[in-house]
Structure 1
Amino acid sequence: MPVLYTVGLWTVAPAIKLGWRPTIEGAEHIPATGGAIFAGNHLSVADELFLGSAVGRHISFWAKEDYFVGTGVSGLFFRTLMGGLGAIPVHRSGGRAALSAFDAAIPVLKEGGLVAVYPEGTRSPDGRLYRGRTGVARLALGADVPIIPVGMIGTEKVQPIGQAIPSLKPGQVTVKFGKPIEVGAWKDAESASTAAREITDTVMMAIQALTGQEYVSRYAPKRSSGDAEK
């Protein structure tokens, strides 16, 4: 486990639990060992903080490549932070570069690690749950690991889009974990693309059941600047 992440588990995680007192449901679905993918809705930058504090194991998050290539003091800070946390860069240029995130995540999963993915591809602009992109399914099939649905409730109130620092509003955040979705039944499907779509839709339905969000059967609009597709 990266040193910075270990420090975070001993400092940031307890601070989040003490300061915001989030409600955790379905903790029995968090694996104590072995590889798995956490797939959740995405309402706020704070989602990663609350997920990390709830799980208690190191999670590799996908992060936009901008954090790894910055210059100056701030650039050095983010490069060091991302490296220390074991973050996986997501390239936004498409093509082979965009697939590097999958290439980096699969070994982590096969070695028994955890990876967090937001199938919507960006933060929800209006609190609704948008159609999932199939990367989460392709990753699970490639690494042969289960997908654990995650439902975040209230994080958009703690840290709304555009707000740099989370506000201290205890008791408003709930993190729900659903039953792991095993992808073995789709391993031998005739059409890989159809299997990936079916798995992704299954994941999104599980997330919706956890959050109660209104579902939108189209992809969320991409932000001009902000989250990388995850």
Structure 2
Amino acid sequence: MSRFALIKAVLGPIMRLMFRPQVEGAEHIPGDGPVILAGNHLTFIDSMILPLVCDRQVFFIGKDEYVTGKGFKGRLMAWFFTGVGMIPVDRDGGRGGVAALMTGRRVLEEGKVFGIYPEGTRSPDGRLYRGRTGIARLTLMTGAPVVPFAMIGTDRLQPGGAGLPRPGKVTVRFGEAMEFSRYEGMDRDRYVLRAVTDSVMSEVMRLSGQEYVDMYASKAKEAA
């Protein structure tokens, strides 16, 4: 049994009991081949719930600090996150974005599922912020379809992303797969990248019901 299967078998029932996830539209995720899952990001537990509600293993980029912690807690976090599919990348500095993009491309070229939060960081106030164009680059470079998704309710269970989450109900809603083959070979055109990204974010907004803010979440955090 793989570590991913073991984690789902052991922690899956506990997570379902604690968060009572209602999953809608899971049939939109292809059963094989590369696919990008792109959704909103409300709080820390989003990255714990998403892998456990999908039949296929979801690989995603995470801060390398999640796997470098000391002591029992640090080792437990590293075991969990690398087991469910997190790939640690140092995202600080000018090369962080490139490293994340190339990692996602490699995962997709291997025919796997890659999860991404186009906002680039957690929403500071529960609203949906402008998506970064890495999602567009990935789908245009690899031809992988994009399945938009929405996390609903996780911010109520873990406000601010700090502290232990409290029990409650979470909804994970997946939309229909989106494909952008009409833009093949245009992954360096910034207007195309913005159009593709905005179309994905529009679907995420429809699924989540969030208010949209045409500003990067990182800028909103700086302003606050």
- 1:167 corresponds to which residue? 166
Question: What is the match of residue 117 of structure 2?
Answer: 118
> Structure 2: which amino acid aligns with 1:99?
V
* Shift in Å, 1:84: 3.3
User: Which residue of structure 1 lines up, in the alignment, with residue 143 of structure 2?
Assistant: 144
21-30 vs 215-224, which moves further: 215-224
1:214 aligns with: 211
Q: Is the 8 A contact 1:14 1:53 kept in 2?
A: no
Check conservation: 1:89, 1:101, Cα contact below 8 A. no
Q: Which amino acid aligns with 2:201?
A: M
Q: Percent identity?
A: 42
1:128·1:216 contact (CA, 8 Å) conserved in 2? yes
8 Å contact from structure 1 (residues 90, 98) kept in 2: no
> What is the alpha-carbon distance in structure 1 between the residues aligned to residue 68 and residue 19 of structure 2?
33
CA offsets per residue over residues 141-179 of structure 1, 9 Å max, x none?
Answer: 22220111001110111122243222112xx31111001
2:172 aligned partner, one-letter code: V
Q: Which amino acid aligns with 2:133?
A: T
The Cα shift of 1:91 comes to 2.3
What is the TM-score of this pair, normalised by structure 1? Answer: 0.86
* Bigger mean CA deviation after superposition, 110-119 or 81-90: 81-90
**Counterpart for residue 25 of structure 1:** 24
Distance of 1:12 and 1:56 partners within structure 2: 14
Letter in 2 for 1:133: R
Residue equivalent to 1:227: none
Matches within 5 A, 1:1-230: 3-71=2-70, 74-169=73-168, 172-189=169-186, 192-221=189-218
Provide the secondary structure at the position in 2 that maps to 1:221. helix
Using the TM superposition, give the Cα deviation of residue 215 of structure 1 relative to its aligned residue in structure 2, in angstroms.
0.4
Alignment-mate amino acid for residue 153 of structure 1: I
Q: 1:84 to 1:218 in 2, by over 3 A?
A: same
Secondary structure in 1 matching 2:160: coil
Would the alpha carbon gap of residues 80 and 23 (structure 1) be closer, same or farther in structure 2, given more than 3 Å must change?
A: closer
Please give the root-mean-square deviation of Cα atoms over the aligned residues, in Å: 2.3
Report the more deviating stretch, 153-162 or 83-92: 83-92
Unaligned runs of 5+ in 2: none
> SS of 1:11's equivalent?
helix
Structure 2 length as normaliser, TM-score?
0.88
